[in-house]
Structure 1
Amino acid sequence: MTEPGFGLDGRIVIVSGAGGGGIGTAVTRLVAGAGATVLAVSRSPQNLAEHVEPLAAQGLPVIPLAADASTDEGVATVLEHARRTPGQLHGLVNVAGGAALADWMPAIRVPRDNWRALFTQNLESMFFMSQAVAAELAATGHPGSIVSISSISGMNTAPFHIAYGTAKSALVAVTRTLAVELAGHGIRVNAVAPGVTATPASRAYVGDDPERDQRAIAMGRRGTPEEQAGPILFLLSDLSTYITGQTLLVDGGLNLKWTHLGADNTSLFLENEDFRASLTR
């Protein structure tokens, strides 16, 4: 009897947010290496050229696709390409999201447009892309797996980052509800909540500080994009066919200690002392 494994041969997996050089790019590389044809989606053609096209040049079954997952037009473009790609649609990984340094601020100062923008970026893009892929799978009668990126900030408190943390928390709620609704179609829906991970985006505000990492994280270091990609591949694969509606913390034990806040309740991972001080003024 053949044992189930990570093999995704003959299957199509969409990675939304593949071009940033961080988790999405690592997922694209790993999933393509497991045999899937990956539609690597990014709204930035420049990011695709820098981070995704080299994977295709190495011979991996990766198709770079410029589309904005936060718009109906972008979602439609992705599904149209999926239908034209040889193979069976199987999976979706929602990585698109994030926040900029300017999005950090006290809750009492958060303007409505910032709140809405972060929800669009981190929640709406996940939901409507998942909706479209799930509808396609259900219409064709094929099972599948959807995995979305939440955050440690969505699993606990997120001082001075309330819009982002709340959007990522809402993503967990969406994951659980979709899992119930889609189970009858054989579609599993899960999420991964990364801790502090060394990505190009995080370098904007997280510097190197081994002593801080040792104090805040049980494993004593930040994670890598590849260490997030592994659990995502597991949740996509046939090794996890009885798992749905779950959010897996991949944080090196940060949540076990949760000591990353200073005496003023600002994150120790915000390396700029002047910026940290400005949040509490």
Structure 2
Amino acid sequence: MDDLLGLEGRVVVVSGAGGGGIGTTVTAMAARAGATVIAVSRSKENLDEHVAPLAQQGLAVVPVAADASTDEGIAAVIERARRADGSLYGLVNVAGGAEPSTWMPSTRVTRGDWRKIFTDNLETAFFMSQAVAAELVAQQRPGSIVSISSISGMNTAPFHIAYGTAKAAIAAMTRTMALELAMSGIRVNAVAPGVTETAASRTYVDEDPDRDRQAIAMGRRGRPEEQAGAILFLLSDLSSYITGQTLLVDGGLDLKWSHLGADNTSLFLKDESFRAAIRRML
């Protein structure tokens, strides 16, 4: 019972580990559960700020500054994982997201906007998953891959079409890879967060407790550790008979989605012009 999660002596790669939100939190939790974590971020500064302190606490965390959207970056991550203590077992795809500047009507989305969102949120997750899966198959080892989708990929996402579509594709990718890899002992799942309190979300999400209470069944936003807990569950042996699933972790926002009125529109956007446009659609 000491190693209930089954992560002792295993190596887990976390992309998007340096932002101080979900990726950093799951890095810390996996390391505390006994894993050696390869913590990947494009930004060395972010790694120094958020991940290096975990290593200083004695946790088995290895910061790697690499761009997981490139073949060279992925190759560097896999090479570092090979040299880590323990055997490669898991991958958590957190890298992605969408800058507030990408929120726009569908009629204004450019090919450049579309490609950037898909590169950051879908291509990076797929090619990281491909690389880790290939390594596990070559070593004939079991493993677990968990990607981050979004409630925006499971419901309508006005003014967020590229992001919502990319996150919906994560769910499709998850199911197909799960079927292909099941007989190799590799499970593939995803978590779809709802509104979660992170530094990134505060740039575009209103601070409005009254709206939270009205729109979210549990009456509050999620915390990074709650998303990380769901990720760790799917990564670990506790979910050993689960594959191909996308777990919605949203405090019940989805339960009330179709009942939201005009004052609770588009995931609590700060931008009043978007709110006004959505009200006209309702």
If the TM-score is normalised by the length of the shorter chain, which range does it land in? over 0.9
The answer for the alignment partner of 2:251 in structure 1 is 252
- Which residue number in structure 1 is paired with residue 16 of structure 2? 17
Residue matched to 1:129: 128
Q: Assess if the C-alpha contact under 8 Å between 1:18 and 1:28 holds in 2.
A: yes
Where do 5+ consecutive residues of structure 2 fail to align? none
Question: 1:130, CA displacement in angstroms?
Answer: 0.1
Deviation at residue 260 of structure 1 after TM alignment: 8.1
Distance of 2:246 and 2:179 partners within structure 1: 14
Determine the C-alpha separation between the residues in 2 that align with 1:212 and 1:235: 31
Name the residue aligned to 2:186.
Answer: 187
Matched, 1:201 2:205: no
Moved over 6 A (4+): 278-281
Deviation, structure 1 residue 277:
4.3
Give the residue type in structure 2 aligned to 1:11. R
Question: What is the TM-score with the length of structure 2 in the denominator?
Answer: 0.95
Distance 2:18 2:261 in 1: 33
| 2:95 paired residue number | 96
CA deviation map 1:128-148 (0-9, x unaligned): 000000000000000000000
Give 1:175's aligned residue: 174
Aligned residues: 280
Contact 1:123–1:170 (CA<8 Å) still a contact in 2?
yes
How far residue 166 of structure 1 moved from its aligned partner, in angstroms, is: 0.1
Q: Is the 8 A contact 1:152 1:249 kept in 2?
A: yes
Amino acid at match of 2:202: R
Distance 1:78 1:239, change over 3 A: same
AA aligned opposite 2:121: N
Q: 1:208 Cα deviation (Å)?
A: 1.7
Report how far residue 152 of structure 1 moved: 0.2
**8 Å contact from structure 1 (residues 260, 268) kept in 2:** no
DSSP 3-state at the match of 1:160:
coil
CA distance in 2 between partners of 1:163 and 1:272 (Å): 18
The answer on whether the counterparts of 2:11 and 2:87 sit within 8 Å (CA) in structure 1 is yes
Please say if residues 8 and 34 of structure 1, whose CA atoms lie closer than 8 Å, have aligned partners that are also in contact. Answer: yes
Give 1:267 deviation, angstroms.
1.6
Residue 265 of structure 1, CA deviation: 8.8
Alignment map for 1:46-61 (pairs within 5 Å)? 46-61=45-60
Query: Which runs of 5 or more residues in structure 1 are unaligned?
Result: none
Q: Distance in 1 between matches of 2:39 and 2:46?
A: 11
| Distance in 1 of aligned mates of 2:234 and 2:17 | 17
- Corresponding position of 1:31: 30
- TM-score of the superposition, structure 1-length normalised? 0.95
RMSD of aligned C-alpha atoms?
A: 1.8
